[in-house]
């Protein structure tokens, strides 16, 4: 299978190119004035490597573009580039492709598809209750139960957002660049802010995991992903796995699940037609 998986987040776009089910590249395109140019170049580079469908009546590439998005303006940008540059439609999870995991939340379509594809990817590996924490622009800590149902989670500010709020809503605190603090007790203002944000995040993750464990009656597997995941790794011994780009893997799983279920439905329709003809 040839597939370009695009994970549109709040502060970056990740593009992964799979050729014959093998990952050829995965790139992170950060927000900025050159985002459109970089996205156009990355998609074109991948598309140029894809062969044409054999024996097709008209020239058509043997691949699809599948996206998960939490930022509508970038979704429109992606779709416009795909149409103008590649002559192709983007399949959007939640619109063109069903959500890849069953949920028990009030409104599944209100849950960011990044959370749902990550949860689906985590459960596909663990096949048991699992906590999926994503440390990105926001921090989401979600629970999937032992039957594979996404039951919900928590949302809180990420490191950069929290640092900016401290700067914007105080008279004297500086905007800091987030690193692991040298000590829990910061010896200066910058280190004090780092320590507060860092240990707040570590404590939040451990507390929420404990609360989920109380609901389940046992400690679940814990998987952490996102751009800031590695920053907290050394103080999170209770975490089982730190996995980069989990959402991209979930996009691939969502598309494969869609193809499998579509084939099953078509097979059932053929059987019904055969019985009707008999």
CATH code, domain carrying 67: 3.30.420.40
pLDDT at residue 270 in the model? 59
How high is the pLDDT of residue 278? 55
Asked, for residue 276, whether it belongs to a domain, the answer is: no
Distances (CA, A) of 179 to 149, 156, 171, 258: 35, 19, 23, 40
Distances (CA, A) of 130 to 102, 133, 140, 199, 228: 14, 10, 14, 23, 20
Is 262 within a domain? no
Indicate if 96 belongs to the active site: no
Instruction: Answer yes or no: do 87 and 139 share one domain.
Output: no
Residues 119 and 55 in one domain: no
Same domain (yes/no): 108, 241: yes
Looking at the domain assignment, is residue 188 inside a domain?
yes
Same domain, yes or no, for 108 and 153?
A: yes
Q: Average pLDDT of 150-163?
A: 97
| Boundary of a domain, candidates 51, 69, 92 | 92
- From CA 8, how far away is CA 70, in angstroms rounded? 6
| pLDDT above 90: percentage of residues in the chain | 87
Reported as a single tens digit per residue, the pLDDT across 112-131 is: 999 999 999 999 999 999 99
Q: Are residues 107 and 86 in the same domain?
A: no
pLDDT at residue 204, rounded to an integer:
97
In a domain, 264, yes or no: no
Orientation of helix 246-277 relative to helix 113-126, angle to 10°? 80
Say which of 114, 134, 142, 160 is annotated catalytic. Answer: 114
Q: Within a domain: residue 272?
A: no
Pairing of strands 138-144, 90-92: unpaired
268 falls within a domain: no
Instruction: Tell me, yes or no, whether 116 and 238 share the same domain.
Output: yes
- Give CA separation, 233 vs 2, 77, 227, 240, in Å: 34, 35, 12, 10
**What is d(CA 81, CA 87) in angstroms, rounded to the nearest whole number?**
9
Q: Is 15 among the domain residues?
A: yes
Asked if residue 275 belongs to a domain, the reply is no
pLDDT band of 267, cuts 50, 70, 90: low
Does the pLDDT of residue 269 top 70, yes or no? no
Beta bridge partners of 189: none
Domain-ending residue, one of 92, 118, 152: 92
User: Would the pLDDT of 90 be above 70?
Assistant: yes
Confidence band, pLDDT 50/70/90 cuts, at residue 271: low
81 and 137 housed in the same domain: no
> Are residues 171 and 205 both part of a single domain?
yes
Q: Is the pLDDT of residue 253 over 80?
A: yes
> Could you tell me if 237 and 109 lie in one domain?
yes
Strand order, beta sheet including 22-30:
22-30, 12-19, 3-8, 64-69, 90-92
Q: Where are the alpha helices (DSSP H) in the chain?
A: 35-48, 72-81, 113-126, 159-168, 189-216, 246-277
Could you tell me if 71 and 45 lie in one domain? yes
Q: What's the total number of domains in the chain?
A: 2
Least confident of 59-63, 149-153, 166-170: 59-63
For the segment 4-18, the average pLDDT, to the nearest whole number, is 96
Range of the domain at 144: 102-248
Residues 108 and 211 in one domain: yes
- Same domain? 126 vs 149: yes
pLDDT of residue 276: 59
């Amino acid at each position: 299978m040839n597939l370009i998986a695009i994970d549109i987040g709040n502060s970056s776009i990740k593009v992964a190119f799979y050729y014959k089910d093998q990952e050829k590249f995965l790139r992170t395109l950060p927000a900025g004035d050159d985002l459109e140019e970089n996205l156009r170049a990355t998609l074109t580079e991948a598309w140029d490597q894809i062969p044409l469908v054999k024996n097709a009546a008209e020239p058509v590439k043997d691949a699809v573009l599948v996206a998960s998005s939490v930022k509508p303006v970038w979704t429109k940008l992606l779709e416009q580039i795909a149409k103008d540059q590649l002559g192709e439609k983007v399949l959007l999870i939640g619109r063109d492709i069903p959500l890849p995991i069953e949920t028990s939340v009030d409104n599944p379509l209100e849950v960011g598809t990044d959370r749902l594809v990550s949860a689906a990817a985590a459960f596909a590996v663990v096949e048991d209750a699992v906590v999926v924490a994503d440390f990105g622009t926001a921090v989401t800590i979600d629970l999937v139960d032992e039957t594979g149902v996404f039951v919900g989670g928590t949302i809180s500010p990420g490191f950069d957002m929290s640092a900016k709020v401290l700067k914007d809503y105080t008279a004297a605190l500086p905007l800091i660049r987030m690193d692991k603090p040298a000590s829990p007790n910061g010896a200066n203002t910058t280190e004090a802010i780092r320590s507060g944000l860092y240990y707040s995040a570590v404590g939040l993750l451990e507390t929420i995991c404990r609360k989920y464990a109380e609901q389940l009656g046992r400690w679940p597997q814990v998987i952490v992903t996102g751009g800031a995941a590695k920053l907290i790794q050394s103080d999170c011994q209770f975490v089982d796995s730190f996995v980069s780009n989990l959402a991209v893997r979930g996009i691939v799983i969502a598309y494969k699940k869609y193809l499998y279920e579509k084939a099953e439905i078509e097979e059932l329709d053929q059987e019904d037609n055969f019985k009707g003809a008999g």
